[in-house]
Each structure stands twice: as structure tokens, then as C-alpha cells.
């Protein structure tokens, strides 16, 4: 098999996976008990049974799930239309795009910081095994990893708003709503500080722990001994020989995390009332908004499968052995 | 590596699912809070000096409006905004009466079929155009004629024949039959700008309209509405008929976490908490410069008893023992409601027995002549003994092959109901009844109760957002026990239904009161609901920065919340 073949096959597999996920989600949402019309309008709202029936027709819920509703949905999607959200009454694509930007900001900042700090700490701890540095870094990482996200977020929120005057909610000040992003960058950045810090602390631990154990493993390899014997400095040994190999498991972890965090760090978004995808998912589920759920989960599936694919490709680059398998 | 990966996936998935299930409690719905009313129209607080910096009141709430289109809006928070930006012919005041908003005066004909509203002169929309009677009549007719498009408001026009505008200052509404709660009905028929709402050709098009730039005639103008950020900004309407409100700007900001709200309040980021989480009430009380407003809601928590008739289609699955009145009475005696108040609601509620809470119209409709079954395990045992229910070998009472064993289900979204279920199950066990608590998602509960009767006992609650008792009374009528209806108990009593129809047509308040008292007596006799508690709502504001809010401690029946337009118009910044 040539390299192109392998890559093509991986893409094909990814496409099939996404298709299966789409089908599963379609079924899954519809086997959920309850009536979406009731979920959308809530309990205690005066709306007649006839009007509810009319809404059911409008949503296409009067038709059988298979094949009618399924074909309708696929037909819409084929035209590049994700439908209209039942609860928000706006095109699903528009809703997703509005939230995706914020989530990407938060995740990119949080992931980058946690990767850099986590990998760095892991490398140091592995290299300086059994020193105070190692024990300190390990303890710190274990604690932050084990801390409930929600709790950590609240603590940071209280401390940050009380001592540093940082904002408590949202992705920008209410007064800046609707203004172009470039104009209010400092405000947006200020609103990102606490969520990003929470994100970083929560994810840093995993990277550190994986990196540390990976470094330890690599450092015990014969080729490291060889490198040392050649008279390379510690720095040269670490960067030229240990780092690339030790990074392999971390790459997997990063790719996996990237996919899942597109769903938004739900807890973090909730604590900081940050209007990202995570909150949207929760709301869509609560209100049984099928079009929005389907769109959101399509996005999530593409993100997870896509980042796995990316991990595979990076792996092939980092480790020549996997190129043709 | 694999383990970590699997663990990660599992935890992310679990958190996705968990957060999805444990989302915020279902929103209470429909029109704004409050009940009673002043004979005089409210005066607007004097505006502060022209050169002063604009005053700003920042409000934190836990949910943003679903839309600002009144045709298709179902959340209480949206109606808070409508109340501020729109006028209606009349609006509810603080003590159960209605004051003229657009209407200066109004009267009903002797046969009760023709309502004539004389409008205030010189009412103008936020865009400067005048409002004329024809605008109001058009609105009412449009809502009436488009039940699907105007899904949220159409039911308020039931029984209307038509609205007309004989001249620019008069609106006449004719009805099919006398309508006793006409004031309440027209108080949510908002005078929208006709041009904003007349261009839609299908119901779906109208429903998809968010009205983000809506124009009304209310005390505040809508400036910004951003659904994604959950922000609503409003500015004082200088042309408001009673003068511009003293607070220049209102900013509503959505918080997803109650703790964050409280912290924002403490840090001074917000000035008013729309709904203080019950666990945070004491904390908020301790914040300097704060006034906490605690007032009874019209909402209640109840134990729904399966009262579905045996010939229902599909056949009910409830324990037939529930048909024995003695069993239901014993349950009512056995439940320690005060415990529920103290332990579950942390004192922010009262024991209650009626679906018409005392907060309806300042107590006008609550039947005070009835005394609830006293909590007494002995009385419960006596009632069961007398009815022939004898403890079996395992302590559970039996009679004619029936056992007092029940499913006790509740809405899984609630963190209070499981605790109530535990208390009830414990109480029941002591008198020889076995109840098995189980959390069920709300959609399943609706599907299994409404029109079906596939349950024994369910713990649930009503928000009581309607200021008029009609809706609450309607949930016990036979006709509502259908899929898509509101009856979950399956209660069906011809006498009750007759009284329900009578109270709808009783134009004399005293007569309507008498009928509604009688209806409560019937429900208390038959116990399709064992009402447990009537809960309080708690709000808070920075009284060191804002003044002019009513003294809620002096008037315990004051029915309007802090963000009601009537109340906000009187508030002002501390100079």
C-alpha cells in the first residue's frame, strides 16, 4: 500500500464513521421519551391542543420517523441546510457559528497553555525524577486534575472578581454586545482570563502526567545511554533524542481532547456564563430541539473524528513505523 | 495509554450526559408576576438632573428570553421584557386589581358582552409615531384569528368576537359570552407596532421572527437584544405617558450559575438579582447595602394522586386502592408538610392545601374557611383502620387483595423532589403504606400522566405564573385530561366542570370568588392533588444605590416583583 492509499483509506473510514454517528444520533434523539413540542413550550403554558398539533405538523413530527423524517432531514442537509432550531427559531448553522467562535477562542487559548505548561512540567519532572521539583510538579498536577472543574471555576471566579476585579460572566461586557470583535478585543481578552485559567489548570495535569511517564520510559532506552556516552549535553539529549519519542502519547491525548472540547468545556462555560457550544448543547437537549441537536452533534462528530484523523497523520509523521500500516 | 483514553472519553461523555440531564429547572412560563392593583395610576419617580451621568441598573437572571416576539414566547423572563417595552389596555397592579395602561377608563355593558376602552390621549411609539385605537383593535383581531402564528397569546382571546375602533381614542371588544377575567386577558395583549407584525404570510414565518428591534409604547425602549450573549439592554422612554422613568438604562444579563450571580452581586457587577437561589439567601442577606425581597408566589408543590377513571382509554395502571378516599385522606394526614418547608425549602415556603395559593389577588380567591388535614400519624392510622385497611405480615396494609404499595415518581430535573419523596416515603411507612421513590424525566412524566394515567403518585409543581386563577382551575377539568392537555391527575367531576364554566362568566367578583371557593372545597374533598407547599420567590437589590422600591415587608400581599414595569418606574438611583 502506498502512503496515499493509506491516507485515502483513513479519510474514507472517517467519512463512514461520521455517517454512522449521524444515523445513530438521528435515532437516539427520537427514541428519547417525551414530546418536543411540550419540551419547547414548557409546563403550564396556555397553548391549545390544536395549536400544539399544528406545531407538530410544522416540525414534521406528524410523519413517521422512518423513512419520512429521516429522508426530510437528509434532503435538507444535502442542500447544505441544517434546518431551523425549534427553540431559538433561527437557522441552526447561524446558531452554531455564533457559539463556535467563542468556544474556539476558549479552547485554543486553554489547550495551548495547558499543553505548553503540561508538557514542559512533565519533561522537567521526568528528567529530574525523585527531586523536590518532580514531587512538587506531580502533586500539583494530580491535585488540579482531580479537582472538580465546577468547583475550581467557582473558586477562581470568586477570587478573580473579588481581588482582581475580573468580570464574572459572559464573553464580553453587556455594553460591548453587538460591536465588531476587533474594537472590543481587550474586553474579550479580559473575559477570557478566568475561563482560560480554569481550563488550563484542569487539562494541564493530564499532559504533565502522560509526558512525565513517557519521558521516564524513553530515558531508560539504550539509545539515550548511547547519546549520553557520545558526550551530548543533557539539553541535547533531551531535545534531540528524548522529546520527539516521548511526545507520541501526548499527541494522541491532544488530538482526543481537541475533538471533545469542541463540545465546549460545559462546566467552565456554565460557571462563567460563557456563551459557547457547551451551553448550547445542554439547552438543546433540555428542550428536545432535534434540528439543533442534530446540527450540534454533527459538528461534534466531525470534530472528534477529524481530530483523530489528524492524530493518525501526525503519528505517521512523528513515528516512521506507522506510515504503511 | 488506552486506559487514560477510555477514561477520558468516558468522563467527557458522562459530563455531557450529566450536564444535559441536570440542567436548570424547567422554566416557569407565561405572563409576568404579580397580582393586585391600585385604584390610582402609578406616578413615575421624578427624573434626576439632566446633566447627571445616566443611571444604570444591572439585573442578573438565570435565563434569557426565548424570543422577544410575543406571538411565540413561552418563558416568564420574556414577559418581564414585554411588560417594560409594551403597553396593554390595562395592566395588573400590586394588589390584585388592574390599572389603566393604554386605557384611561373602561366599562362593560350590562349584558357583559361589550367592553369599551377609552384610550389615554397622546400615546406614542418609541419611534415617535402615534398609537391609535385601530392599532390595538388590529392587534387583538390578529391574535384571535391566527391561533398557530400567535400560539402564545391566542388562548387569551378565546370567546372574543371582534375588536373594533369606532374612533382613534376608543377600542371596543365584543365577546360571545361574559368573560370574568377580561382585565387579565387584555393585560397580555400587547400593543405591538403593526408594521413589525403584519408582513408575515405563514405562521412559521411569524414564529421565526425574533423582534430584536421591537418598537412599543412602554416605559422602556429596547436598545439591544442579543440571544447569543443573553443580554437585553433597555433605555428609559422619554415620551412615556407618565413621564420618563428615573433609571435611565436597564441591563439584563444572563448567568448560568447561581453562585456566579451571587458573586457578581457581591463584587458590584450587578445591582439586582432576579431570582436568588434558595441556598444563597442567607449569603445575600449578609452583603452590605442589600435589601432582600421575599414574597409568596402563586406556585406550589403537590403530590398528584392517580384519579383516572377506570374506563379511560388507555386503561389506567394506578393502584386501585387510590380510589378509596380514606387512603387519600390518610396520606394527607401522614405527610409532614412543615418538615418539607424546613428541610427542603429551607423555610422559604409554607404548608398549603389549595391549588389557588393565597398570593392570587392578595388572598381574594384562596378559601380561608378550609382547614388542612392536620399532620398526625395517629389520625392517618385511624382513618385507615376505620376503612378496613389492616397491616399484613410485612407491615403494609391490605384489604380485599389490594395492598397500599405505590410508585412515587418525580421529575428528575429537580434536586428538591428526591428529598420530598424520601420524607413522604418515611411518613407513609410509619402508617403502613409503602411508597417507592423513582426519578423520571419530565417528558416521560408528561407522557405517562396527561391523558393516560400510567402512575400511582407523582411529586410535581406548578409555577403559578398566571395572575388569574382560571388556568390553575382549568387543570382539574375533565376536558384537559387528553394528550396535549394540562390535567395530570385524571380528575373528572361534572360539578367541578360546571362551576369552572360558571366562574368564567361571573362578572361580579364576589360571585366569582364564591364559586372559586366552592371549587377548592370540592378538590379538598376529593384530593386528586395533595398540595404540599406554597413557595416564596426571593429577589435582592442594592438599596444603597437604588431607592423607591416598595416596602415589601409592610405589604405582605404586594404581588409585583422588582423588575415589573410598575415597580421599576418608581425606582430611582440614590442621589
Q: What is the pLDDT of residues B278-305, one digit of tens each?
A: 889 999 999 999 999 999 999 999 999 9
Residues A179, B348: Cα–Cα separation, whole Å: 42
Q: Where are the domains of chain A?
A: 92-286
Q: Do B334 and B433 touch, CB atoms closer than 8 A?
A: yes
B49: pLDDT strictly greater than 50:
no
Specify which residues B29 forms β-bridges with: B75
Residues A280, B228: Cα–Cα separation, whole Å: 9
Q: Three-state DSSP class for B144? A: helix
Query: Which pLDDT does position B422 carry in this prediction?
Result: 97
Residues A103, A272: Cα–Cα separation, whole Å: 12
Q: Which of A38, A148, A273, A292 to mutate to test binding with chain B, by most B CBs within 10 Å of its CB? A: A273
Q: What is the DSSP letter of A240?
A: I
Query: Which pLDDT does position A1 carry in this prediction?
Result: 61
Task: Tally Cβ neighbours within 10 Å of residue B511.
Answer: 14
Taking CA–CA distances from A98, the nearest residue in chain B reads B228
Q: Do B319 and B402 touch, CB atoms closer than 8 A?
A: yes
Residues B388, B385: Cα–Cα separation, whole Å: 5
Window 360-399 of B: residues touching A by CB (8 A cutoff) are: none
Residues B126, B88: Cα–Cα separation, whole Å: 15
CB contact under 8 A, B4 and A206: yes
Residue from the list A33, A99, A178 with its beta carbon closest to the beta carbon of B444 = A33
Integer-rounded Cα Rg, in Å, for chain A is 24
Specify which residues B540 forms β-bridges with: B273, B292
Distances (CA, A) of B2 to A210, A249, B9, B235: 12, 10, 10, 57
Residue from the list A33, A55, A154 with its beta carbon closest to the beta carbon of B259 = A154
Q: Is residue B26 less than 8 Å (CB to CB) from chain A? A: yes
CB contact under 8 A, A266 and B8: no
Residues B208, A55: Cα–Cα separation, whole Å: 12
Question: Taking CB atoms and an 8 Å cutoff, what residues of chain B touch A199?
Answer: none
Residues B106, A17: Cα–Cα separation, whole Å: 66
Q: Do B295 and B392 touch, CB atoms closer than 8 A?
A: no
Query: Which pLDDT does position B34 carry in this prediction?
Result: 34
User: What residue has cell string 403593526?
Assistant: B194
B51: pLDDT strictly greater than 60:
no
What ipTM does this complex have? 0.85
User: What residue has cell string 408543590?
Assistant: B301
Query: Which pLDDT does position B279 carry in this prediction?
Result: 85
Q: What is the DSSP letter of B395?
A: S
Closest to B403 in 3D by CA, of B377, B436, B433: B433
CB contact under 8 A, A282 and B23: yes
B212: pLDDT strictly greater than 70:
yes
Taking CA–CA distances from A54, the nearest residue in chain B reads B148
Closest to B566 in 3D by CA, of B103, B31, B80: B80
Query: Which pLDDT does position B21 carry in this prediction?
Result: 36
Residues B53, B573: Cα–Cα separation, whole Å: 11
Q: Which residue has the higher pLDDT, B172 or A36?
A: B172
Query: Which pLDDT does position A216 carry in this prediction?
Result: 92
B25: pLDDT strictly greater than 60:
no
CA–chain centroid gap for B288, Å, is 31
Closest to B94 in 3D by CA, of B467, B357, B433: B467
CB contact under 8 A, B446 and A269: no
Query: Which pLDDT does position B241 carry in this prediction?
Result: 95
Closest to B436 in 3D by CA, of B396, B490, B389: B396
Query: Which pLDDT does position B353 carry in this prediction?
Result: 97
As a whole-number percent, the residues of chain A with pLDDT over 90 amount to 27
Q: Is residue B51 less than 8 Å (CB to CB) from chain A? A: no
CA–chain centroid gap for B38, Å, is 21
Q: Is residue B233 less than 8 Å (CB to CB) from chain A? A: yes
What is the β-pairing status of strands B405-411 and B457-462?
Answer: parallel
CA distance B108 to chain A (A): 25
Does an H or E element contain B142, and which? helix B133-145
Q: Do A206 and B264 touch, CB atoms closer than 8 A?
A: no
CA–chain centroid gap for A214, Å, is 24
Q: Do B207 and B149 touch, CB atoms closer than 8 A?
A: yes
A158: pLDDT strictly greater than 90:
yes
Question: Taking CB atoms and an 8 Å cutoff, what residues of chain B touch A203?
Answer: none
Residues A104, A307: Cα–Cα separation, whole Å: 14
Distances (CA, A) of A236 to A115, A232, A247: 22, 6, 16
CA distance B74 to chain A (A): 6
Residue from the list B75, B224, B259 with its beta carbon closest to the beta carbon of A177 = B224
CB contact under 8 A, A47 and B466: no
Which of the four pLDDT bands, split at 50, 70 and 90, describes residue B16? very low
Query: Which pLDDT does position B201 carry in this prediction?
Result: 92
Closest to B125 in 3D by CA, of B238, B249, B251: B238
CA distance B521 to chain A (A): 23
Residue from the list B29, B204, B254 with its beta carbon closest to the beta carbon of A42 = B29
CA distance B241 to chain A (A): 28
As a whole-number percent, the residues of chain B with pLDDT over 90 amount to 77
Sign of the alpha-carbon torsion through B11, B12, B13, B14: positive
pLDDT in tens, B474-533: 999 999 998 878 899 999 999 999 999 999 999 999 999 999 999 999 999 999 999 999
Query: Which pLDDT does position A41 carry in this prediction?
Result: 66
Upper half-sphere CA count for residue B117 (Cβ side, 13 Å) = 28
Query: Which pLDDT does position B43 carry in this prediction?
Result: 52
Closest to B417 in 3D by CA, of B458, B464, B455: B458
B307: pLDDT strictly greater than 70:
yes
User: What residue has cell string 389615554?
Assistant: B120
Sheet of B160-167, strand order: B103-108, B114-119, B170-175, B160-167
CB contact under 8 A, B260 and A271: yes
Q: Is residue B283 less than 8 Å (CB to CB) from chain A? A: no
- CATH number for A92-286: choose from 3.30.450.40, 3.20.20.70, 1.20.1260.10, 1.10.3720.10: 1.10.3720.10
CA distance B237 to chain A (A): 19
pLDDT-wise least confident of B60-64, B77-81, B250-254, B481-485: B481-485
Residue A28 CB contacts under 8 Å (≥ 6 apart), including other chains = none
Closest to B387 in 3D by CA, of B371, B402, B372: B402
* Arithmetic mean of pLDDT, B67-76: 89
**Cell numbers for B349:** 415556603
Residue from the list B19, B209, B267 with its beta carbon closest to the beta carbon of A161 = B267
Query: Which pLDDT does position B3 carry in this prediction?
Result: 36
Exposed/middle/buried for B523, CB within 10 Å: 0-12, 13-18, 19+? buried
CB contact under 8 A, A47 and B263: no
Closest to B467 in 3D by CA, of B59, B17, B76: B76
pLDDT-wise least confident of B2-11, B220-229, B344-353: B2-11
Q: Is residue B145 less than 8 Å (CB to CB) from chain A? A: no
Q: Which residue has the higher pLDDT, B372 or A98?
A: B372
Instruction: Locate all alpha helices (DSSP H) within chain A, ordered by sequence.
Output: 3-31, 36-41, 49-58, 70-78, 92-127, 132-146, 149-163, 185-219, 222-229, 234-236, 243-261, 266-271, 277-286, 290-318
Integer-rounded Cα Rg, in Å, for chain B is 25
Over the range B163-183, which residues count as b (16 or more CB within 10 Å of their CB) and which as e?
Answer: bebeeeebbbbebeebbbbbb
pLDDT-wise least confident of B23-32, B42-51, B211-220: B23-32
A87: pLDDT strictly greater than 70:
yes
Task: Tally Cβ neighbours within 10 Å of residue B198.
Answer: 12
Amino acid at each position: 500500500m502506498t502512503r496515499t492509499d493509506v491516507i485515502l483509506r483513513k479519510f474514507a473510514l472517517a467519512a463512514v464513521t461520521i455517517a454512522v454517528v449521524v444515523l445513530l444520533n438521528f435515532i437516539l434523539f427520537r427514541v428519547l421519551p417525551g414530546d418536543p413540542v411540550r419540551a419547547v413550550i414548557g409546563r403550564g403554558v396556555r397553548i391549545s391542543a390544536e395549536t400544539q398539533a399544528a406545531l407538530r405538523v410544522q416540525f414534521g413530527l406528524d410523519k413517521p420517523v422512518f423513512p419520512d423524517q429521516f429522508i426530510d432531514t437528509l434532503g435538507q442537509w444535502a442542500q447544505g441546510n441544517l434546518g431551523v432550531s425549534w427553540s431559538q427559531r433561527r437557522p441552526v448553522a447561524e446558531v452554531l457559528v455564533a457559539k463556535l467562535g467563542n468556544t474556539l477562542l476558549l479552547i485554543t487559548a486553554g489547550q495551548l497553555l495547558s499543553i505548553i505548561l503540561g508538557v514542559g512540567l512533565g519533561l522537567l519532572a521526568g528528567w529530574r525524577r525523585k527531586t523536590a521539583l518532580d514531587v512538587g510538579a506531580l502533586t500539583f498536577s494530580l491535585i488540579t486534575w482531580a479537582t472538580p472543574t465546577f468547583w475550581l471555576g467557582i473558586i477562581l471566579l470568586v477570587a478573580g472578581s473579588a481581588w482582581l476585579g475580573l468580570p464574572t460572566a459572559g464573553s464580553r461586557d453587556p455594553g460591548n454586545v453587538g460591536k465588531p470583535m476587533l474594537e472590543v478585543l481587550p474586553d474579550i481578552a479580559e473575559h477570557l482570563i478566568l475561563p482560560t485559567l480554569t481550563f488550563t489548570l484542569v487539562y494541564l495535569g493530564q499532559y504533565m502526567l502522560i509526558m512525565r511517564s513517557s519521558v521516564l520510559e524513553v530515558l531508560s532506552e539504550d539509545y539515550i545511554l548511547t547519546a549520553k556516552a557520545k558526550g551530548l549535553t543533557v539539553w541535547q539529549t533531551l531535545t534531540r533524542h528524548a522529546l520527539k519519542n516521548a511526545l507520541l502519547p501526548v499527541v494522541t491525548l491532544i488530538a482526543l481532547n481537541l475533538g471533545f472540547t469542541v463540545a465546549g468545556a460545559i462546566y467552565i462555560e456554565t460557571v462563567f456564563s460563557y456563551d459557547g457550544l457547551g451551553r448550547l448543547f445542554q439547552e438543546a437537549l433540555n428542550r428536545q430541539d432535534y434540528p439543533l441537536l442534530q446540527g450540534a452533534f454533527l459538528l461534534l462528530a466531525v470534530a472528534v473524528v477529524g481530530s483523530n484523523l489528524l492524530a493518525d497523520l501526525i503519528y505517521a509523521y512523528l513515528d516512521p513505523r506507522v506510515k504503511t500500516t | 495509554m488506552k486506559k487514560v483514553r477510555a477514561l477520558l472519553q468516558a468522563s467527557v461523555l458522562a459530563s455531557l450526559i450529566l450536564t444535559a440531564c441536570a440542567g436548570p429547572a424547567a422554566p416557569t412560563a407565561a405572563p409576568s408576576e404579580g397580582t393586585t392593583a391600585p385604584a390610582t395610576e402609578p406616578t413615575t419617580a421624578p427624573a434626576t438632573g439632566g446633566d447627571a451621568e445616566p443611571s444604570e441598573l444591572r439585573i442578573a437572571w438565570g435565563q434569557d428570553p426565548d424570543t422577544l416576539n410575543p406571538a411565540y414566547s413561552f418563558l416568564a423572563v420574556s414577559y418581564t421584557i414585554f411588560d417594560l417595552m409594551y403597553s396593554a389596555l390595562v395592566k395588573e397592579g400590586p394588589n390584585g386589581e388592574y390599572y389603566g395602561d393604554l386605557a384611561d377608563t373602561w366599562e362593560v355593558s350590562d349584558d357583559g358582552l361589550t367592553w369599551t376602552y377609552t384610550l389615554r390621549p397622546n400615546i406614542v411609539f418609541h419611534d415617535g409615531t402615534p398609537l391609535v385605537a385601530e392599532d390595538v383593535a388590529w392587534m387583538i383581531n390578529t391574535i384571535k384569528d391566527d391561533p398557530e402564528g400567535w400560539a402564545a397569546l391566542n388562548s387569551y382571546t378565546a370567546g372574543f368576537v371582534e375588536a373594533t375602533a369606532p374612533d382613534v381614542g376608543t377600542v371596543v371588544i365584543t365577546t360571545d359570552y361574559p368573560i370574568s377575567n377580561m382585565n387579565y386577558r387584555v393585560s397580555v395583549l400587547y400593543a405591538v407596532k403593526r408594521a413589525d407584525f403584519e408582513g408575515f404570510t405563514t405562521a412559521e414565518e411569524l414564529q421565526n421572527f425574533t423582534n430584536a428591534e421591537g418598537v412599543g409604547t412602554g416605559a422602556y425602549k429596547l436598545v439591544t437584544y442579543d440571544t447569543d450573549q443573553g443580554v437585553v439592554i433597555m433605555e428609559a422612554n422619554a415620551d412615556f405617558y407618565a413621564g420618563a422613568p428615573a433609571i435611565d438604562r436597564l441591563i439584563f444579563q444572563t448567568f448560568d450559575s447561581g453562585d456566579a450571580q451571587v458573586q457578581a452581586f457581591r463584587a458590584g457587577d450587578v445591582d439586582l438579582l432576579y431570582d436568588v437561589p434558595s441556598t444563597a439567601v442567607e449569603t445575600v442577606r449578609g452583603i452590605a447595602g442589600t435589601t432582600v425581597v421575599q414574597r409568596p408566589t402563586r406556585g406550589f408543590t403537590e403530590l398528584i394522586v392517580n384519579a383516572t377513571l377506570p374506563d379511560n382509554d388507555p386503561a389506567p395502571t394506578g393502584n386501585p386502592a387510590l380510589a378509596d378516599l380514606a387512603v387519600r385522606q390518610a396520606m394527607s394526614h401522614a405527610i409532614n408538610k412543615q418538615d418539607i418547608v424546613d428541610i427542603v425549602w429551607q423555610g422559604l415556603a409554607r404548608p398549603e392545601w389549595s391549588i389557588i395559593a393565597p398570593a392570587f389577588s392578595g388572598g381574594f380567591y384562596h378559601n380561608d374557611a378550609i382547614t388542612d388535614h392536620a399532620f398526625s400519624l395517629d389520625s392517618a392510622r385511624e382513618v385507615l383502620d376505620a376503612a378496613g385497611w389492616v397491616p399484613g405480615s410485612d407491615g403494609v396494609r391490605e384489604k380485599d387483595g389490594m395492598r397500599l404499595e405505590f410508585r412515587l415518581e418525580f421529575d428528575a430535573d429537580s434536586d428538591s423532589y428526591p428529598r420530598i419523596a424520601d420524607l413522604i416515603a418515611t411518613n407513609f411507612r410509619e402508617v403502613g403504606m409503602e411508597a417507592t421513590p423513582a426519578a423520571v424525566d419530565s417528558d416521560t412524566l408528561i407522557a405517562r400522566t396527561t391523558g393516560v394515567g400510567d402512575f400511582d403518585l407523582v411529586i410535581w409543581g406548578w409555577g403559578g405564573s398566571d395572575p388569574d386563577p382560571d388556568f390553575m382551575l382549568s387543570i382539574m377539568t375533565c376536558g384537559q385530561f387528553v394528550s396535549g392537555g394540562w390535567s395530570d391527575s385524571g380528575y373528572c367531576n361534572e360539578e367541578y366542570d360546571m362551576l369552572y364554566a360558571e366562574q368564567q362568566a361571573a362578572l361580579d367578583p364576589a360571585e366569582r370568588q364564591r364559586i372559586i371557593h366552592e371549587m377548592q372545597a370540592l378538590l379538598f374533598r376529593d384530593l386528586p392533588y395533595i398540595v404540599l407547599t406554597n413557595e416564596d420567590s426571593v429577589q435582592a437589590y442594592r438599596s444603597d444605590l437604588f431607592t423607591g422600591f416598595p416596602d415589601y415587608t409592610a405589604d405582605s400581599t404586594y404581588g409585583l416583583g422588582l423588575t415589573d414595569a410598575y415597580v421599576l418606574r418608581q425606582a430611582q438611583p440614590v442621589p
